[in-house]
Each structure stands twice: as structure tokens, then as C-alpha cells.
Amino acid sequence: MAKIPAGPPLEGLRRQIARHRSGGTQRKDGLFVRETFRLDRAHARQKAQEWFDRWPKAAYWTEVESWRQLEGDEIEFTMRRLPSAD
């Protein structure tokens, strides 16, 4: 009979979830820093590029978290990054 491999140890995850639920974390907005912008298409592209230049994706996990096109040529988008590269 084949032996079923044991799953990953979950105690660390359980502690982290409990700490988060009890409000013990210092960050108000979770792990990431987020900022939402509402700009015309050209300026939205420029602002996103500024974020990627200032906080490189490889170190800060920078990304466009969400975006949507509004009336006309306006874009509303949220940028997300880690607070530090540590």
C-alpha cells in the first residue's frame, strides 16, 4: 500500500493567522503599500512607469493591482508595492 506523504507543517501559518485576526499586526493596510490614481491614459502610463522606476518589481513586487477605463480617456488604477526591499 502506498504511503500518503505528510502535508507541510502548518503551525507557523496558524500563528500568523491568529496574530492577524487579533489585530497584532502593525500595518493598517496589510503587507502592501497601495495608492489609487485617476488620470488620463498618457499620464496614467507615466505614473505607473514612475512607480516601476522608483520601486523595481524584482525588489518591491510592484504591480498594477487593478485598473478600469472610465468615461473618455480616463483610467483609474491602483499601484501596489512592498514598503521596503528587505
Instruction: Say what the pLDDT of residue 5 is.
Output: 65
Domain that holds residue 59: 30-86
Instruction: Measure the CA–CA gap between 43 and 50, rounded to whole angstroms.
Output: 10
- Residue 36 falls within a domain, yes or no? yes
- Residue 83 falls within a domain, yes or no? yes
0.85 surpassed by pTM: no
- Residue 49 falls within a domain, yes or no? yes
- Residue 23 falls within a domain, yes or no? no
pLDDT tens by residue, the chain, 86 residues: 666 666 667 777 677 777 766 654 344 557 899 999 999 999 999 999 999 999 999 999 999 999 999 999 999 999 999 998 76
Write out the DSSP string of 34-72. EEEEEEEHHHHHHHHHHHHHHS-HHHH--EEEEEEE-ST
- Residue 20 falls within a domain, yes or no? no
Instruction: Say what the pLDDT of residue 23 is.
Output: 57
